[in-house]
A and B are shown apart, each in its own frame.
Chain A
């Protein structure tokens, strides 16, 4: 199965700073690269995703970049706000597999 690692496991930033979370995967067949956000006490929800034919995707303050050669993709959050505080998960996948494997999660804390 896919081995997925996220770094760092915790990240503390000052409001207004940028945050970057990296996800490394093992399956070279992976072609879908989503990031989920889970606020405290809530369900995980998709915030951004990218497919392997695109190197970068941006949606307002969040962006995802992909390096297929190195088998990693990253979540970038600019101008962080307290409401960005949450746990973020990556879950790379391919359309041949049946299981969804999540990274271990990154707890982001944005200090006002």
Chain B
């Protein structure tokens, strides 16, 4: 089944403790991206990657890191999480190198709470 898989689905952590949220897709998509969703603010792009070893900042990259060592995986890293990073996170992937005119496929979401 074609899908985007995120793990974990839920995570509660403490301020400053490094964490990684994994994202994997099995559709051979070139483009992958991370979003955070906060009440009243919609979906905001954190980072994106157009291919292996190519990553770039989105609208809200501060406090986050990503890597794209393999085409299928695009982990989101929070080196020192803070409470303002409490949010719902989505990973998404799209085919082709021009992602803006094709459908985005989303993972199930990761609800992160930083205390």
Instruction: List the interface of chain A (C-beta within 8 A of B).
Output: 1, 31-32, 34, 36, 42-46, 49, 51, 89, 91, 93-105
State in angstroms the CA–CA spacing of A71 and B40 once bound together.
24
Q: 15 new A-B pairs (CB below 8 Å) besides A98-B48, A98-B99?
A: A1-B59, A32-B101, A43-B106, A44-B90, A45-B106, A46-B103, A89-B42, A89-B43, A96-B98, A98-B50, A98-B100, A100-B99, A100-B100, A101-B45, A103-B42
* CB interface residues, B 30-58, toward A, < 8 Å: 33, 35, 40-45, 48, 50, 56, 58
A-side contacts of B104, CB under 8 Å: 36, 44, 46, 91, 100
A-side contacts of B98, CB under 8 Å: 95-96
Residue interface bits B90-112, CB-to-A below 8 A is 1, else 0 = 10100000111111101111000
CB <8 Å contact, B41 and A99? no
State in angstroms the CA–CA spacing of A9 and B43 once bound together.
14
- Closest beta carbon of chain A to B2's beta carbon, Å: 13
CB <8 Å contact, B101 and A43? no
* CB interface residues, B 68-115, toward A, < 8 Å: 90, 92, 98-104, 106-109
A-side contacts of B92, CB under 8 Å: 100
Interface residue tally for chain B (C-beta within 8 Å)? 26
B-side contacts of A101, CB under 8 Å: 45, 59
Most chain A beta-carbon neighbours within 10 Å: one of B42, B50, B102: B42
CB <8 Å contact, B101 and A51? yes
State in angstroms the CA–CA spacing of A32 and B99 once bound together.
10
Interface residue from B59, B100, B103 paired with A95 (Cβ < 8 Å): B100
CB <8 Å contact, B48 and A99? yes
A-side contacts of B45, CB under 8 Å: 99-101
Query: With A44-B90, A96-B98 in contact, do A105 and B42 touch (Cβ < 8 Å)?
Result: yes
